[in-house]
Amino acid sequence: MAKIIGWVKRACHLWGGVRGIWCAIRSDTAAAEIGSEVATVLEDILGYGDVLNNCFN
């Protein structure tokens, strides 16, 4: 759990909050900068995959 909180804090520091993290995930910047595993966890926390599935499919 502490590891995930650290990832979220780092992502907020890098991209300035939820909107910035969302944009970084969409542009694949997140995976390149912090790793694909971390980007996947952040996607799950933000519900990014659910939004894509429910709104664009």
Look up the domain containing 44 and give its range: 2-56
pLDDT at 29: 92
- The number of domains in the chain is 1
pLDDT tens track, the chain, 57 positions: 788 889 989 999 999 998 999 899 889 999 999 999 999 888 888 887 777 677 766
- List the structure tokens of 54: 């429910």
**Entry pTM:** 0.74
User: How far apart are alpha carbons 16 and 20 in whole angstroms?
Assistant: 6
Tell the residue number behind the tokens 């966890």, with chain if given: 41
Measuring CA to CA, which residue among 20, 17, 21, 12 is closest to residue 44? Answer: 21
